[in-house]
Structure 1
């Protein structure tokens, strides 16, 4: 199995300001009546002012670096509305974000609002249905806000609250311990510090990729508390586990005793589901195709480990549809020996989602193949209806219907005319350009990677020192951190203030002295703080301290950046989605009549399998180098170079040993078997998520067949896959630098079968071999 590539190395430097003890979110502003404004030269100085605040309990602060403005706030994202705002950063104290207790929880400041029996808490300032003895006035330092569980009187049973049940004055709340070394249920809420497995292996740190690469990135999974090297259960396994520090043992379960106290009480959903249906406790026992469910305690006709003993608290009674392991909806094993399992079509609770949960109707979110249109925007982009779903820094957009990782009110229901479909870039609120919330928990929102439809001229400044001519483009690459052009006017036409000047605006954050390598000579637009929205400057307008500049993107060809933007559809290769011509310009067709290298032909720049396009480039093969240790990868050396243009362009190579996180959207293309679904002879594409090897190797999936130098991708329910004839083709995933070649189509058990995702050679494991082979040839 062979593939062709050319690569260009790109580097991205991100300059971030972190403050110990605080979680930072870019582009966020918090609404709160309890706040105080100060001047501060750095975020660290602002943190000191927050710690010293005496007028209220400071839980977070906002810092605006360009204005050197500091706002201390008596609230955080758990209790108050978060808005999006350019060039601001929200810093929240980690202690107030914890949803577990230390000791008896006198310092607990989380947001639990239900008691152990599921009763809703009464507000602390309310006098009905119970007249409280403990109030915000009697205990001003106890943080008695709203109706959150607290322990203001040092009760030995932990946090509690008055209830809204007239017959029950108060009850304790079910808040997990931060230090308790035992587990309830499957240990999903375990927050202890055990870091040794049941076989005696020491756990590997979650933020480390050695000795085992993995996709369980703490920053990408903030709600899973992947701290240090502590045992955790982030993926719905029977109990907590960890990767080990032994090269010979990838991962292992941890030996943590079960708690003797009662497990947390859940409020079940009986007739419908919210979110992924983990709380569904109804009696549906038939799959979506009409098959009867197998009892969870039975092992015939299908053997499995999703038993009531392994998954307590999951309601695995009889043969009812359930979701014990974080699938996307309730499911069950079937009584049909030919069908191991299927999803159940349980109705969604359209009006019963509750706060913080948004229900997605699966039928309503089916893929929509957009019309062919130029992917640019007019004016402020309010009318933009294109398909871009990535930000200016390359982050993937959050689905408008979802409330994670960022809660918001820009929903399709609130903005019905804004076309807030899926995670497509839009401008529902009349901002200056299309934008989206991001899937990065640390960055609330960003403008999208889009240009205006009216093209700006590219100017050339020519310097002639002796015999050397150097051309400097007045355009930016990426966010313009390296921009050194002469533009010195803001987006509104205001002349820039010189960086060394202190009038009309006084500042000391960005000067030629403080940032000597940032090109802050004169008054030209620059990006010294790596602002994702591009170059800016202080202005000569006394009423406007600073503003962005209108700098066009440099025209050019970079790896992984097609000139023709792909559809990125979620149709199927087996099932059919024809690509835009030349939107995947690294795709080649490798043809041969024998296994001799001289018999191979490499066709580039084509869209049809017949290869009749005028853009076709045909090259002969000089050498074929097979991958090490019989791995399913190879390098091809061409007899003559190819011409890089808008129809022939390489994908980027990944970092060495990089592991693509689980659920990352990736795309595969090919002219392979379509099983009668149409589009034969044309390049087809599909997108689907990466599946962690740990999950893919489960007995019910590929049963340990996937090696460390391979990766899985596909939809667990089937229907989307690469197929015969696609072998050797690219699996690319989007990143800040463009599309990266993360996988090479290798093998699978059939095409698009449920529980049998496709397997790909993991390119990041071969970076050293690629480099060595190229140098040797």
Structure 2
């Protein structure tokens, strides 16, 4: 009697663990992609309570070979289909998860390949395979090799298969009347080899060609680096395996030897055919990597150098190093992920230049004729006309470039939607969805809505009175933090204006997953918008509209004066300070002007706390006396005649450790924090910004006569990993570990004299973080000479200890 409840509890626990184990095993057979949907004419629909039940339905599907299934948790809807992303197009759909059987995604064979279920459909000699169900041009002998005679062999298309256990591996009947059948050259799964330059290499070699053991990609010792697996999911930086995330000639890795930062790996080339490129002969799409035309002159009219030669420019972009990039003669190409086709030039004074290759379709190239960014980074209506600069989803994921097909292939391209302004990876709404969105760089999440707020509308007198009432009652505050999982506000209407159905009601829509009983701690007592499943897009509800089961609610973010979150949203101009964009007044409220005690501006700096500023040591060369300087905050003009101006004398100068170019300035009295004066956030200790991250520099520096003098200017450009920046053609090993590079390799965007000491801030999770202090460069905005910045994350301990010691 006493042990009965205990034994029962133990049995329940064992059963629960068994269910979890079965669930993990079954679902591990599938690759999951959030926000994805395959439109298939052939499908079976089921109503199930869990994704595990849906997976089991797919595994035992009697009507066809189930290659994938889709599950909608809010609707408890399960659809099994015979297709997957290799057979049919993958579309966008909110709150839908696509699960694809991994065995049908593999493009390699085990043993003789009887289990091969890939999509290769050409033979060794390049002949196209005949459909297995077809009798033309070759009738299968005795009708032995057909879908009906071999139902488990997956003979449903014209893909290479091995239904009869041929020792040579997968084969097919061909569409050539003179060749009845041939084997297919499919790579062996156990074969460690690479195609082309190894960009898609996913093997497990972890030793370099010189015998060094590879450092784990998620480790920062012994070598700090920016190739962070969680930030670059599309690069598949697993364990310590050799990879090629930056367009080098072949895979490489950082090593575990402190004396050897990185080294190439020795990986043989595959004997199977490389992925085929649909060649573009007269124009280029996206970054032009598929362009195979015959233009051999740069945009400025210089003749291109033959890729196979080393005169006058020495280089490693050779046909041998990049065998799949079409490096023929001297034709313009893009072998290494630049933004458009380019070439080395025959002019000894000009190493390389971009080429003027026409874009396919009626749209400009990636950055040509870019319209000015919107003044307000918010959207009206459904955001179809949104032209802001946000490049991050609501859950913090980086957006994939619209012209890129990696990691997600799609048809939302600048050519298909020429009026949608699908530049770079900017959030847009080309297809009339409810808000701006983008494809993500996370292979497991196809798309998400973006971190863009709806523009506020002018309130009427009644809404103003209601706001005052709500503001006075804290527990009714109608705003959300993050994804709104803790939201308990009163909103009970969807973003389209439909009243919410009570969570306890089962009419007009039946549901069992989300009720007050199933989620007692989620505040679901009424029909208020809630987020019981932690949906990244925020609170939602079932609706009282019989034709719309559920929808999201429009809940604003809870705002406040927080570091790195300016009240006036920045323009986020992708131009340049030298000839760049004038900033919106007070949109970079941490920017300070460092001046002589007579009021002459000469350097920049960043407010990091009410009484502390970060700048560069070289800005303090004229004097080490605090009385020689003053700081001006809260201004947009160099003249500093705005009423918002705050002036502070300096109490102390603290130079950085060693000979590093970083310094702390203590103000005589703290700055007044408001909407025009606000600190930037400091980064995590030793954090290395991933390459390609979009960051921004601001300053009143030299504009070289291009206009905007006397006004704060800004530019945005990507971070460049130190490994790349230290290449001989760039800054030739001048960059130290405590420094970082940022800029456009082709030049045109940079900081300049007078910007020194100012901020390099990077945007993440709706916050600007100070990652760099403007330090030095070889000229201003020169090609292949990006700007150099002190890496602030290397000094967070020093900054915090100095502030604590001198407070």
TM-score, normalised by the number of residues in structure 1: 0.85
Kindly state the Cα deviation for residue 776 of structure 1 after the two structures are TM-superposed.
Answer: 2.6
1:97 maps to 2:105: yes
Aligned partners of 1:180 and 1:191 also within 8 Å: no
**Larger mean Cα displacement after TM superposition, 703-712 or 423-432:** 423-432
- CA gap of 1:131–1:573, structure 2 versus 1, over 3 A, is farther
Q: Deviations over 1:448-496 (max 9, x none)?
A: 31214426657467999xxxx9665222233322212233444544354
2:32 equivalent in structure 1: 24
**TM superposition shift of 1:425:** 4.1
Q: Which residue of 1 aligns with 2:343?
A: 332
Deviation at 1:253?
1.4
Alpha-carbon offset, residue 314 of structure 1: 4.7
User: Secondary structure, in 3 states, of the residue corresponding to 2:453?
Assistant: coil
Contact 1:378 1:454 in 2 (8 A): no
Aligned to 1:451: 454
Counterpart of 1:438 (choices 433, 437, 440) is 440
Cross-structure match for 1:242: 253
Whether the 8 Å CA contact 2:374–2:571 is kept in 1: the answer is no
Equivalent of 1:620, from 627, 649, 653? 649
1:66 corresponds to which of 51, 74, 80? 74
Are the structure 2 counterparts of residues 672 and 101 from structure 1 closer, same or farther at C-alpha, using a change threshold of 3 Å? Answer: farther
Distance 1:123 1:590 in 2: 73
| 2:395 paired residue number | 393
How many pairs align? 747
Show the counterpart of 1:11: none
Q: In the TM superposition, what whole-angstrom CA distance separates every residue of 1:567-612 from its partner, at most 9, and x where no partner exists?
A: 2222211222111212222222122354322333222221111111
Aligned-pair distance for 1:711? 1.9
Gaps of 5+ in 1: 1-16, 352-358
SS in 1 for 2:103: helix
C-alpha displacement of 1:230: 1.9
Q: Distance in 2 between the 1:433 and 1:267 partners? A: 33
Distance 1:269 1:431 in 2: 31
CA distance in 1, matches of 2:122, 2:779: 48
The equivalent of 2:314 in structure 1 is 303
Per-residue deviation, residues 712-745 of structure 1 (Å, max 9, x unmatched): 2111111111122212222222212322222222
Report matched runs for 1:254-265 at 5 Å: 254-257=265-268
How far 1:187 moved relative to its partner?
3.5
1:497 aligns with 2:502: yes
Once residues 117 and 795 of structure 2 are traced to their aligned partners in structure 1, the CA distance between those partners, rounded to angstroms, is 48
Cα displacement (A) at 1:385? 5.0
In 2 relative to 1, CA 121–605 (structure 1 residues): closer, same or farther, beyond 3 Å?
A: farther
Q: Match of 2:477?
A: 473
Is 2:194 the counterpart of 1:199?
Answer: no
SS at match of 1:775: helix
Asked whether the 8 Å contact 1:118–1:265 carries over to 2, the reply is no
* Distance across 1 between alignment mates of 2:576 and 2:693: 17
The answer to whether the 8 A contact 1:460-1:474 is kept is no
Pair 1:776–1:47, CA change in 2 (3 A)? farther
What does residue 227 of structure 2 align with? 216
- 1:273 Cα offset (Å): 4.8
> How far apart are the structure 2 equivalents of 1:77 and 1:264?
16
Is the Cα contact below 8 Å between 2:498 and 2:543 reproduced in 1?
no
Measured in 2, the distance between the counterparts of 1:419 and 1:186 equals: 32
* Displacement after TM superposition at 1:303 (Å): 3.1
Distance 1:260 1:221 in 2: 29
Residue 502 of structure 1 deviates from its aligned partner by: 6.8
Larger-gyration structure (1/2): 2
When the two chains are superposed, the root-mean-square deviation of aligned CA atoms in Å is: 3.6
1:97-116 correspondence to structure 2 within 5 Å: 97-116=105-124
Q: Which has the higher helix share?
A: 2
Please identify, of 691-700 and 288-297, the stretch whose mean Cα deviation from structure 2 is larger: 288-297
**Deviates further, 265-274 or 742-751:** 265-274
**1:51 equivalent in alignment to 2:59:** yes
Q: Does 1:585 align with 2:593?
A: no
Deviations 1:13-53 (A, max 9, x none): xxxx9953443332222212343333444434433443343
List per-residue Cα deviations over 1:90-143 (Å, max 9, x = no partner): 233333333344344433333444455555544444455555564434433333
Deviations 1:257-301 (A, max 9, x none): 456788788776666555545555555544333333444454443
1:687 equivalent in structure 2: 716
**Secondary structure, aligned partner of 2:98:** strand
Equivalence for 1:483: 487
SS of the aligned residue for 2:744 comes to: coil
Counterparts of 1:639 and 1:187, CA distance in 2: 57
Q: Which runs of 5+ in 2 are unaligned?
A: 1-22, 598-622
Deviation by residue 1:598-638 (Cα, 9 ceiling, x = unmatched): 33322222111111111112222222333333322233322
Q: Tell whether the 8 Å contact from 2:109 to 2:186 is kept in structure 1 after alignment.
A: yes
Cα pair distance change 1:37/1:308, threshold 3 Å = closer
**1:557 and 2:568 matched:** no
For residues 333 and 414 of structure 2, the distance between their equivalents in structure 1, rounded to whole angstroms, comes to 29
* 8 Å Cα contact 1:65-1:87 kept in structure 2: yes
Q: Map Cα deviations across residues 511-543 of structure 1 (whole Å, 9 max, x no partner).
A: 566556544455543222222222123457777
Q: Structure 1: how far apart are the matches of 2:515 and 2:700?
A: 55
Contact 2:503 2:515 survives alignment (8 Å): no
**8 Å Cα contact 1:277-1:330 kept in structure 2:** yes
Separation in 1, partners of 2:267, 2:423: 44
Deviations 1:45-99 (A, max 9, x none): 4334433434333333322222333333332222223232222222333333333
Instruction: Work out whether residues 234 and 441 of structure 2, in 8 Å CA contact, stay in contact via their aligned partners in 1.
Output: no
Alignment equivalent of 1:725, drawn from 744, 754, 767:
754
Q: Secondary structure at the match of 1:180?
A: coil
- Aligned to 2:484, the other structure's residue is in SS state coil
CA contact (8 A) 1:99 1:111 kept: yes
For the Cα contact (< 8 Å) 2:718–2:743, is it kept in 1?
Answer: yes
Distance in 1, matches of 2:130 and 2:339, equals: 34
Deviation at 1:345, TM superposition (A): 3.4
Partner SS, residue 797 of structure 2: helix
Higher relative contact order (CA 8 A, sep 6+): 1
The CA distance in 2 between the partners of 1:109 and 1:169, in whole Å, is 22
TM-score norm. by structure 2 comes to: 0.82
Q: Is 1:645 aligned to 2:674, yes or no?
A: yes
The CA distance in 2 between the partners of 1:259 and 1:415, in whole Å, is 38
